[in-house]
Amino acid sequence: EYVDFIGEPAMKKIRKGDIIQLQRKGYYICDLEYTSKSEYSGFEMPVVLILIPDGSSKPIKQTQTASAVELGKTNGEIQINGNASTS
């Protein structure tokens, strides 16, 4: 499974084989390092990180922004940004 995310500019310095921790979500190993725009292809190549399994059975939660939809189930109703709708 591939997940796209945006990182800080310092992540350009990660080299193949480096192990890093991201937002306390888990440890990752660098498979492909960042490559700037190629004169041949005209494309940048992003950093590719592989999640290192930690042995837990809990799925990794993706961090949401404050503007993301918040869902909370209460008494048969789903709250979407404070507005109730029946399920």
Domain-located, residue 22: yes
Host domain of residue 37:
9-54+62-86
- Does 33 fall in a domain? yes
Contacts of 72 (CB under 8 A, 6+ apart): 78, 79
pTM over 0.85: no
Domain count, the chain: 1
Q: Strand, coil or helix: what is 12?
A: helix
87 CB contacts (<8 Å, ≥6 apart)? 73, 76, 77, 78
Asked if the structure places residue 80 within a domain, the reply is yes
pLDDT at 87: 42
Domain assignment present for 70: yes
| Amino acid 10: pLDDT | 92
Supply the pLDDT for residue 41. Answer: 87
CB-count exposure of residue 49 (10 Å: 0-12, 13-18, 19+): buried
The verdict on residue 4 lying in a domain is no
> Each residue's pLDDT tens digit in the chain (87 positions)?
788 888 899 999 999 999 999 888 889 999 999 999 888 888 988 999 999 998 876 665 655 444 343 433 344 444 444 445 444
